[in-house]
A and B are shown apart, each in its own frame.
Chain A
Amino acid sequence: MTTDWIERIRAAKEAGDPSPLFDHVPYARFLGLSFELPAEGELVLRMRYADHLIGDSALPALHGGTIGALLESAAIFTLMWSHEGERLPKTINLTIDYLRSGRATDTFAAATITKHGRRVANVRALAWQSDRERPIASADAHFLLAG
């Protein structure tokens, strides 16, 4: 199954369009995730607003878990997009800092690789809504690259 993914990523990179990758991730569809077209090699994910993503109907605000899932997805796909590995990265852990409440609107996320070692990668991801300079959450994640 890992080989299938490696092939899918290779094909998506050749086509310059990561969108087909989400065909194999039902949860991404559930969250309403899509890729913005890669610009200058950077992957940006969009989580389209939907009422079922709300975690606090009084404010209203997005559920923190959906923002965490968006950040983790941005981190792992950035890792797969930028480094061809022989295995799919596995999330070891993830620390999410919630900076502002997520309003009822589309949310974006992008990630940068802080350190890409032989066995472990450290990735930092940011999520924002209307203004990238005012992030609503950030995450630091470790991924296992080795078998």
Chain B
Amino acid sequence: MPSPEKQALIEQMNRGMHQFIPHNRELGLVATDFRHSSGEVWMKLPYAEQLVGNLDDGLLHGGAITTLMDAACGMAVMVRLGMGSPIATLDLRIDYLKPAAAGRDVVAHTECFKLTRHIAFVRGLAHTGDEKDPIASVAATFMRKDAS
């Protein structure tokens, strides 16, 4: 569990995210932890019936997972660059490793592992409770719009 001081920072981060990114608020996305030094973020997508891709099996739509991954990758860049830094997704590749079990929240763990003057490189995994058993992986690049 993060310390109370860290918890306050996380809540501040979520308030900012929900204010500036209405779609993340609509999905109920919340950062649950972050690590500034390594550009890491943990972000949760709560299971919701409106995000189901197929009523017959109740599994989340791949698009909801993609959105979680995009949001968590962007946030990892923000954690390294500072919240509110202007960035734009250049590309994002997602591999669906297995279906996310119906009814389970999904947690993404992303890392901005390399920054250059213009580009941020991010990778990550998502799971539904067991980090050793990921349901999706992601690789994304972002453009830094603040670069001269």
Per-residue A-contact encoding for B90-104, CB less than 8 Å = 1, 0 else: 111111100000000
Contact (A95, B92) CB under 8 Å given A55-B21, A63-B23, A69-B62: yes
Set of chain B residues within 8 Å of A24, measured between Cβ atoms: 54-56
Q: Roughly how many angstroms separate A4 CA and B55 CA in the complex, as a whole number?
A: 11
In this assembly, does B81 line the interface, its C-beta being within 8 Å of a C-beta of chain A? no
In this assembly, does A129 line the interface, its C-beta being within 8 Å of a C-beta of chain B? no
In this assembly, does B37 line the interface, its C-beta being within 8 Å of a C-beta of chain A? no
Set of chain A residues within 8 Å of B49, measured between Cβ atoms: 26
Set of chain A residues within 8 Å of B60, measured between Cβ atoms: 27
In this assembly, does A122 line the interface, its C-beta being within 8 Å of a C-beta of chain B? no
Would you give the shortest CB distance from A39 to chain B, in whole angstroms? 25
Set of chain B residues within 8 Å of A28, measured between Cβ atoms: 61
**Partner pick for B26 among A5, A52, A64, CB 8 A cutoff:** A52
In this assembly, does A15 line the interface, its C-beta being within 8 Å of a C-beta of chain B? no
Inter-subunit contact B23/A54 (CB<8 Å): yes
Q: Roughly how many angstroms separate A59 CA and B88 CA in the complex, as a whole number?
A: 11
In this assembly, does A92 line the interface, its C-beta being within 8 Å of a C-beta of chain B? yes
In this assembly, does A91 line the interface, its C-beta being within 8 Å of a C-beta of chain B? yes
Set of chain B residues within 8 Å of A65, measured between Cβ atoms: 23, 63-64, 66-71
**Partner pick for A68 among B22, B24, B66, B88, CB 8 A cutoff:** B66
In this assembly, does A97 line the interface, its C-beta being within 8 Å of a C-beta of chain B? yes
**Partner pick for A69 among B50, B55, B63, CB 8 A cutoff:** B63
Would you give the shortest CB distance from A144 to chain B, in whole angstroms? 9
* Chain B, Cβ-Cβ closest to A140: B93
Inter-subunit contact B88/A98 (CB<8 Å): yes
Set of chain A residues within 8 Å of B94, measured between Cβ atoms: 68, 93-95
Max chain B Cβ within 10 angstroms of own Cβ: one of A5, A30, A73: A30
Set of chain A residues within 8 Å of B52, measured between Cβ atoms: 25-27
Contact (A27, B64) CB under 8 Å given A1-B54, A96-B91: yes
Q: Roughly how many angstroms separate A58 CA and B86 CA in the complex, as a whole number?
A: 10
**Partner pick for B93 among A4, A55, A95, CB 8 A cutoff:** A95
Contact (A63, B70) CB under 8 Å given A92-B95, A98-B91: yes
* Chain A, Cβ-Cβ closest to B95: A93
**A-B CB contact pairs (8 Å), 12 listed:** A26-B51, A26-B52, A27-B50, A27-B61, A52-B26, A54-B23, A55-B21, A55-B71, A64-B70, A65-B67, A94-B66, A95-B93
